[in-house]
Structure 1
């Protein structure tokens, strides 16, 4: 898959005209009246900037076309407003967004002409203000000047971070491709989390405000008592209406999620297998630089740092005589600190690595994820309470990456299973929602929000910095990657040790898939050489050229890349393909034909080999790793002779199609369910 992404980047670099057209259309669409609310300009433009930083695109054409698109979009919106004037509020689809139009009009009247420049950078009004400027009769010359200058600044702001990120990833890729991949995944997850949070605050909630008024009006006209109660609860004049609903919704979602995760924990179930697979996936992505970054993040969530920040914030709130909020924060932190170890003792789930003692040696839920979410989530609620949507978006845009970084570090370092961290985040979010539900309507406690935010940041930087400087080396050594290896002698493996290895491939979601019918002691290269006489050849690598084979109906089965499959979080180290010479054309839609006009074979056998944590002592040869493999049959379907679609139709080969037992130095064993497994590589 990495090869395919590299080929895609190369393709975009070789077709800059396509990239120019995309950034122009996206920049223009983002500025169109109302429509721009749903155009993902930030995602696309940051991606384009990243390609510039990677050296795949020329910066000046991308910048110029982005500016031109932004200018065109605002100009179109301006002339729409100029033509329709106030009638626009009654024209579909603008009449469906009266709340947004009224909000944009109020923003323009408050800030005047400068709102055209400022509004371009403000989510929620950027797609409204140019049209409002046309509605109120702003001179076209003045609008054009502001439009052009703001488009230049806006393009720099959106492309710049991508250029910097692309340059950094390019440098990291020279050091370690795995490090660049890991950081890329991490940054994408954080970016999506922040974008979703901002989208909810700045777009969904304003739309909700308009629909809430209509809902309240409809409920108020009902005679049923429950309808009357709901109308009062949803009424915007109710001081706790919005906060109460959102907090209750968060609790309704997170509490059942935590309970479901807790109920699913058992020694052998899909969740446990999925956790193991995800742990192995991140274990294989670890690098020394990545370890240092994640160790730093995880230390910011250590108990001593969390306790100091919580103590300073609680003391500050008491000093400001915000008695109820201070007590609420103290209760929430203390409750989380008590309940996390109690839950750990109750569920008694072992950690992936042995690094602690007592209750901390247990795993579910993650204390770092829980306490970090509770502390910084409540601080964010206190700072953002009763502030503008833009301020709320800014506060949570800082808080979400901090919490997400600490939580992600626990999975990356192998200190917790994925479900431990998700459970901790769910439990912590429920605590934050409960705090907001209870204390959100308090308006008579002046807490000095920005002083509180600054104090929390300074305390985190000071205490966290000292903690990292004093204990980094010891902590890094504690989280040093260690792959547990199970060793056995060749005799033990042949006798009964082979039963310890998995019998089926395990997907990332924990599901058991096709049977693993091969255990190979030796190198993948040795197996490829042994199977070459049987017609098995290495599968085609992924590239744009080979990917295009799926889009045509005449591609031979052996020329199609094998679809990636992971076992226990690890990719296959060997993929071999043999054309099925016994099968005739595909099952549906026709097939390709040979030179004589007869249907060409439409299927193939695919053998995959995955690494395990087991190894065999082989006398003078030393320790030899054990791999597990599967052999499946894929039918190549060709709908309308236009596509080539592999579909697995057999997970197990019949005796005549299975070359594994005939390899030199193999032994056949039978599992308790009657299936067989070949132990190979004994002669090497």
Structure 2
């Protein structure tokens, strides 16, 4: 996994012209009138800044091209507004988003010329204000000065965090590549979750204001009381209509997701195989430093901490005489606390590792993910209630970051399967959405939002810190990495044990792929040396030069890197290729194909006399045809998962034995660990 990420970063760093073009187009698209509301500039630019910090991209070209893109986007939007003036509200596609245009116009009139500078940093209006400036006749020279200065500041703000992160990752990479990879995955997951929450609050809801108006008009015409009530709740003029819409949408999405996951649980299906593959992936990335951080995060979500925080919130709400919200909060927390163990007992799914006793020893759904989502999700709803979109986005960003960190720690530490955590997040989100839907319209209960936020922060900090400091050592020992291994003697392996090893490659999504026709005990390089006389050579490493081979129509098959394939969450330790000659049948297939042999580590070990057990690897041998569309590209396509008789060199290796599976397929057992004993 680390090698794959390193290859990706290296490829981007070796192609700076492409990176410059991407940041220019993204920065320009982000500023285009209305279009910029759906352009993910932040994600791309933070990523570019990270590559700068890693030393893979030169900072000045990236900075200049990002700034020029921002300037160009605002300038285009300005001249669109300048040309169309007020008639822009009736011109497609702007007429579909008349509400957004009017919102931007009001923002400009309220803040004047400085809105061009400020608006660039405000989601929801940044893609509208420059066009409005042109509509109202702002002087072009003045606009250009503000445009350029704001673009410089905006570029620094967007690239700066990535540069700092990249510099930190680079330093961590010198210490531990795996630690840098885990931290990178963790931050990317959190970043995407936070950006989705902000995107929903600041962009999606305003974008669909016009559609909501039409729906409300239709509902208002109906005589049903429910239709009229629903129309009032969804009315864009209603201060709580956006929250009601979000709550209803989340309920419609999260409940089916949770039900589907619960229904899919069985001992041997695609979901379980996918969970196992993901667990193996994270187990291979664990480091002591990351273990300490993730143990701390998971302990902040322990039952003792969530219980005390929940009790403090309930007491506070009752003291403030927010009777209905306090009752709803109590029902939601108690309901989740009762539902999780009951469902665990019903489904009886085993955890990846042995933890706890009773119902807590079972796995689906994750109690940490469920209860913390309900607790901090409802607190976020109470604190953000009736606040501005920016405040709501900030509050929910903090909640998502905390919940996501706790949920991620459960997967990283191996305490839960990925589907357990997703199921817990889905059920918890559904509970939060139901609370917001039922209690969001209450306006006559004064909660004291910032007092509640401060109380929760202090309680969690004090209780969580005390819990972590007191129990950290035992928690760290509890979550120590457990790598399940099965040790076989030579007699056991050659007898029946070989049947326990996987017969097919398992993808990260849990699907069974090509057959695994080789089990190799010992050094993979010994296999490479044994197959060298048959023409098998190590596959080229990924680089800009080898990647360019896919873009040329005459690249020999042996010069193309092998596409990465994962077996049960693990990357291949050995990849060999052999050209098999000219197999072309059409003008689009110019130079034939190749054989690709891959070898992956397994959890099985073989006892060796006088030494430590050696790992048993599993391998596949597939055929790829190299397609040549229009003689301009070289595209490998697997067309056979098994070699025919006479094409398989494995049974001819010295010291190997062949076994037949119940389905009639064969598997070769070999390696230096058994060859001397034959």
- Matching of residues 9-158 of structure 1 within 5 Å: 9-10=9-10, 12-13=12-13, 16=16, 19-158=19-158
Partner of 1:421: 421
| Mapped partners of 1:21, 1:254: distance in 2 | 38
Partner of 2:438: 438
| Mapped partners of 1:162, 1:475: distance in 2 | 33
How many residue pairs end up in the alignment? 674
SS in 1 for 2:603: strand
Partner of 1:671: 661
| Mapped partners of 1:200, 1:589: distance in 2 | 50
Kept in 1: contact 2:518–2:668 (CA 8 A): yes
Correspondence 1:642 to 2:632 = yes
Partner of 2:644: 654
- Matching of residues 153-552 of structure 1 within 5 Å: 153-218=153-218, 234-236=234-236, 241-552=241-552
| Mapped partners of 1:649, 1:658: distance in 2 | 16
Kept in 2: contact 1:514–1:651 (CA 8 A): yes
Shift of 1:443: 0.5
Kept in 2: contact 1:588–1:637 (CA 8 A): no
Shift of 1:6: 4.3
The Cα offsets for residues 497-542 of structure 1, whole Å up to 9 and x where unpaired, read as 1111111111111111111111111111111122222222111111
Kept in 1: contact 2:490–2:607 (CA 8 A): yes
* TM superposition score normalised by structure 1: 0.93
SS in 2 for 1:624: strand
| Mapped partners of 2:457, 2:225: distance in 1 | 48
Correspondence 1:632 to 2:630 = no
The Cα offsets for residues 562-589 of structure 1, whole Å up to 9 and x where unpaired, read as 11111111111111112214xx333444
Partner of 1:683: 675
Against the structure 1 CA distance between its residues 120 and 622, is the aligned structure 2 distance closer, same or farther, given a 3 Å change threshold? closer
| Mapped partners of 2:515, 2:178: distance in 1 | 30
Shift of 1:13: 4.4
SS in 2 for 1:409: helix
Against the structure 1 CA distance between its residues 34 and 622, is the aligned structure 2 distance closer, same or farther, given a 3 Å change threshold? closer
Deviates more, 1:10-19 or 1:20-29: 10-19
Against the structure 1 CA distance between its residues 428 and 162, is the aligned structure 2 distance closer, same or farther, given a 3 Å change threshold? same
| Mapped partners of 1:209, 1:609: distance in 2 | 55
Kept in 1: contact 2:377–2:432 (CA 8 A): yes
SS in 2 for 1:424: helix
SS in 2 for 1:285: coil
The Cα offsets for residues 29-71 of structure 1, whole Å up to 9 and x where unpaired, read as 3223222222222122212221221223333443344334333
SS in 2 for 1:635: strand
Deviates more, 1:66-75 or 1:164-173: 66-75
SS in 1 for 2:284: helix
| Mapped partners of 1:224, 1:361: distance in 2 | 49
The Cα offsets for residues 598-626 of structure 1, whole Å up to 9 and x where unpaired, read as xx4x1211111111111111223441211
Shift of 1:634: 1.5
| Mapped partners of 1:364, 1:498: distance in 2 | 32
Provide structure 1 residue ranges, at least 5 long, that are not aligned to the other structure: 593-599
SS in 2 for 1:182: helix
Against the structure 1 CA distance between its residues 58 and 647, is the aligned structure 2 distance closer, same or farther, given a 3 Å change threshold? closer
| Mapped partners of 2:61, 2:4: distance in 1 | 26
| Mapped partners of 1:15, 1:626: distance in 2 | 39
Deviates more, 1:460-469 or 1:15-24: 15-24
Against the structure 1 CA distance between its residues 414 and 587, is the aligned structure 2 distance closer, same or farther, given a 3 Å change threshold? farther
Shift of 1:150: 2.6
Against the structure 1 CA distance between its residues 459 and 31, is the aligned structure 2 distance closer, same or farther, given a 3 Å change threshold? same
Correspondence 1:605 to 2:595 = yes
Shift of 1:243: 3.6
SS in 1 for 2:267: coil
| Mapped partners of 2:586, 2:182: distance in 1 | 41
Shift of 1:103: 0.5
Against the structure 1 CA distance between its residues 587 and 317, is the aligned structure 2 distance closer, same or farther, given a 3 Å change threshold? farther
| Mapped partners of 2:349, 2:540: distance in 1 | 43
Shift of 1:231: 5.2
| Mapped partners of 2:129, 2:239: distance in 1 | 30
Shift of 1:145: 4.2
Q: Alignment partner for residue 613 of structure 2, among 606, 623, 642?
A: 623
Shift of 1:654: 1.9
SS in 1 for 2:618: strand
SS in 1 for 2:246: helix
| Mapped partners of 1:636, 1:570: distance in 2 | 26
SS in 1 for 2:499: helix
SS in 1 for 2:561: coil
Kept in 1: contact 2:515–2:620 (CA 8 A): yes
| Mapped partners of 1:117, 1:59: distance in 2 | 24
| Mapped partners of 2:230, 2:629: distance in 1 | 53
Deviates more, 1:527-536 or 1:359-368: 527-536
| Mapped partners of 1:503, 1:11: distance in 2 | 34
Kept in 1: contact 2:589–2:628 (CA 8 A): yes
The Cα offsets for residues 107-127 of structure 1, whole Å up to 9 and x where unpaired, read as 122233332222111100111
Kept in 1: contact 2:15–2:544 (CA 8 A): no
| Mapped partners of 2:639, 2:387: distance in 1 | 58
| Mapped partners of 2:212, 2:265: distance in 1 | 40
| Mapped partners of 1:242, 1:450: distance in 2 | 22
* TM superposition score normalised by structure 2: 0.94
Against the structure 1 CA distance between its residues 4 and 513, is the aligned structure 2 distance closer, same or farther, given a 3 Å change threshold? closer
Partner of 2:583: 585
Partner of 1:595: none
| Mapped partners of 1:231, 1:251: distance in 2 | 18
| Mapped partners of 2:378, 2:86: distance in 1 | 43
SS in 1 for 2:364: coil
Shift of 1:172: 0.8
Against the structure 1 CA distance between its residues 569 and 15, is the aligned structure 2 distance closer, same or farther, given a 3 Å change threshold? closer
